[in-house]
Amino acid sequence: MDIAKTVAIVTGGASGLGEATVRMLVGAGGRAVILDRPGSPGEGLASELGERCAFVAADVTDEAGVSAAVKTTKERFGGVHIAVNCAGVGVAARVLSKEGPMSLGLFNKVIQVNLIGTFNVLRLAAAEMVRNEPNAEGERGVVINTASAAAFDGQIGQAAYSASKAGVVGMTLPIARDLASLGVRVMTIAPGTFDTPMLALLPSEARQALAAGIPFPRRLGRPQEFAQLARQIVENPYLNGETIRLDGALRMPPK
């Protein structure tokens, strides 16, 4: 797809991987709606990027909120062609600790946001995409989900997070097959350890240790590299139904 002719919804678009993706899309001539939580920096980012960007506050797990965001996107920019799911939460908790079994509520929250929230946005965005006129390749839309290297080699304390991201990986191909006849492609990116606001909370020594564990390049991933891959997915019509690891050959150890 030609990004300059598209309208995108980016969840978690106010910071980190989502912000980099929004900047890439607008920079390439497209239009983007940042879908993020109330109180996020989304409104300021949209103001900075100008008239081809807008902010809509919503919780990805809220059906009515996301439906309203999709409607607002169409009313503001005329349609929806791309959905990039970057919204997510991460927690560390062992199944059993000195305090007892892991909280079922905590496990449920991670699944709700990372897996169910992704599916919620995906299905509602796709329902709008199929209204588009197909381009020369027959495409009407592209969905890009965000999983994690933890989907494949989760560490101690990552049972909830790994399960949620493995679910995103697992539904990529079936959904791509579901939507194939409608001209909507579905892809997933599985990032490794990226330099995002979440990691910025760690001490410098901890960040350096994480970077040292990456084979090559021996550094944290840059959000712009995630956005670059997202652009390549949008622009390459033969990419469909696959999860791409973006991790510098990282295979995470148990801890």
Q: Which residues contact 7 (CB under 8 A, 6 or more apart)?
A: 30, 31, 32, 33, 73, 77, 78, 79, 80, 81, 82
Residue with tokens 């997915």: 233
Tokens describing residue 127? 């329902």
Q: Among the options 55, 107, 161, 226, which is catalytic? A: 161
3-state secondary structure (DSSP) of residue 214: coil
**What is the DSSP code string of 62-103?**
-HHHHHHHHHHHHHHHS---EEEE---------SEETTEEPP
Q: How far apart are CA 164 and CA 105, in angstroms?
A: 14
- Give the chain's end-to-end CA distance (angstroms, integer): 40
Q: How far apart are CA 187 and CA 179, in angstroms?
A: 12
Residue with tokens 């990986």: 169
161 catalytic per annotation: yes
Q: How far apart are CA 42 and CA 79, in angstroms?
A: 20
Length of the chain: 255
Tokens describing residue 32? 């983007």
3-state secondary structure (DSSP) of residue 127: helix
Q: How far apart are CA 105 and CA 33, in angstroms?
A: 31
Which sequence positions are flagged as catalytic?
161
